[in-house]
Structure 1
Amino acid sequence: MSKELLGALDTLEREKGVKKDIVIEALEAALASAYKRNYNQAQNVEVNFDDKKGDIHVYAVKKVVEEVYDPRLEVTLADATAINRGYEIGDDIKFEVTPKSFGRIAAQTAKQVIMQRVREAERSLIFDQYSQYENEVITGEVEREDHRFVYVNLGNVEAVMGSQDQMANETYRMHDRIKVYVTRVENAAKGPQVFVSRTDPGLLKRLFEEEVPEIYDGTVEIMSIAREAGDRAKVAVRSNNADVDPVGTSVGPRGQRVQAIVSQLGGENMDIVEWTDDDAQFIANALNPAEVIDVIFDENNERAATVIVPDYQLSLAIGKRGQNARLAAKLTGFKIDIKSESEAEQSLESAAQPAVEAADSEADQTDVAAEAAGTDGVESTLNAPSADETETSAAENTDE
């Protein structure tokens, strides 16, 4: 058993990468626990594994005391000095208590410890391996499906793809090979758990890096992505080289590059637009293929804008079920309100009308005030006594 155990430890270290010292330490602890459990011993038991010969020795550790109260834990000074004169009160002495029948228990315990360490090592290796693939694209094979997940075999581990990560226009069948995006890797109690997605915008970015060398080497940069997986996506790109057209480079000759990506995503439509520092121009680009007349920013909200488009392009700018406007808003980070040219003019006229009515009202009030002032003047003149009447009244007063 000892030679077999040593061989197993060497194989474990060589093939699984599990250090022999770690296994031996775990084995000694497990054997001590097994000895206490099977032989009803106290907690003062130590197990020593000889990594040269493979022998196992069990020791009971006892403390040297003047008077013994528990012979399982203590030994008298007289008994201790009989073994070695150098022992003193308070010293610990190891007594070998290895049972002859302990070999079977040791073998069973060793097997359990080694299997446990193998599982832990495999879990650790898988976690270390696939944690490096986080935020990367990897090809896997569909194994099975239930009401919660599609299970994808990545080689050493079975990844899971939740319903929110599955594309609505795709059906996943057993043995289908698909490209998935690793969103996260968790070291769970039951082992490493890998989560993958077909809907994450990161998948689209990685596919562009695979198909467009200029994106992979950084000449053209993807600035933002808005995606409704399986239906339509918008990608904003910019060039770090003035001589390279970012949109044309991403689309490729006769659209070959972008078409290769569309094919991998089940026909998902792609809009490639140029990213720019000018927010108004970027919003106009994001609403492609619609033509934009003007972009008006909200004074009360710096991330909101009203976009004016020709009347005949209003439905194109909004898109089916509002999709084009929705994706443009996600791509730019702006709240976008789209209005037709005639609607915008009516809004301006409606806003101007109260001002005209207010001006007319003010003028009417001025006229009324002027008329009132004129009438009072006439009445004052009519009611005032004449000069002759004044003189007659004065003469009468004199005669009296």
Structure 2
Amino acid sequence: MKNVGIIFLFLIFLFTNSQAQELPLKIGVAGLNHGHVPWVLNADKRPEIDIVGIAEPDRELAEKYSKQYGFSMDIVFGSIDEMLEKTKPEAVTGFGTTYQHLEIVQKCAPKSIHVMVEKPLAVSLDHAREMANLARKHQIQLLTNYETTWYTSHQKALEILESEKIGDIRKIVVRDGHRGPKKIGVGPEFLEWLTDPELNGAGALMDFGCYGANLSTWLMDGQRPISVTAVVQQLNPADNPKVEDESTIILTYPSSQTIIEASWNWPIGRKDMEIYGLTGAILVDNGKQLRLRMAEGYDGFSEEKFEMEKREKPLDDPFSMLYAVVRGQITLPNDDLSGLENNLIVMEILEAAKESARSGKTVWLDKR
């Protein structure tokens, strides 16, 4: 299990005491047309992070961010190759299209440059497997960043599960989404590829279905589901003419089931989760709030509420983690939310979900 105890506290101590003595981590940024790119541009203000190069062919887009965040256009290059050659980063973060993730690893892995991409890992299982093979061959870290990885409430949910207070898992329900990319006003450069089935791999199914697949795999200790069933719809073709905007994915395991509701049609943005055991339920409302309900009688329950603070460094955000991993200050568990093994299973699930939606049939995963 994932209880790190005294060993992890010791690693935290090493991280805290050695960080001041380390040089900043030299980071390259591949692409600026992802709506999450402010995350890394803001991280550049920290003493331990130094963005040394940006690969972005759209000069107008780069100039916009240059004015907003204060980086020099001298570090902006027209290609990944040029950026790598001129700046020699230790790690590259992917903030372009999901389709570009494979190219990033193809360019970086042979140079022993670590890679972290925004979720999901890839547009397809074939891309993901090629990326994994390259990462293993050249012994680099290949990490996938999800906003939900940094939710303290998810860590508390895992702690309750491991205490066996609610018994074995019987059902997980994960709901993620918002009103849709166009309705929430994402930038035109982001909207253009997020609603493109080739560059994003699909629509809401990929954009938000990946969260549930990632969390379910983690909560189920890295198990692969037995089967995947998906239903998708295009409820708003005016905004999303090329892709589905509504999806429901059902994962079956030997003794439990996960339902993933990924939507670009929620009237209110949400990232919440429910975990049902034999004797109680964990209701994760958001990143910091969680409720534990213990069953009493037929439909009664007692409820305990939890309010959590931000996670401790270096596991408080993706760039603290990336720094610590590259510097060798921490080693992530094999099935970590950001880790390669988890995210290869995520890609198996998403690929099977797309096939199930296309065929109208349940897809049974091969046994290993």
Give the TM-score band, short-chain normalised. Answer: under 0.3
Greater relative contact order (Cα < 8 A, sep 6+): 2
Name whichever structure is richer in helix by fraction.
1
Larger radius of gyration: 1
TM-score (norm 2): 0.21
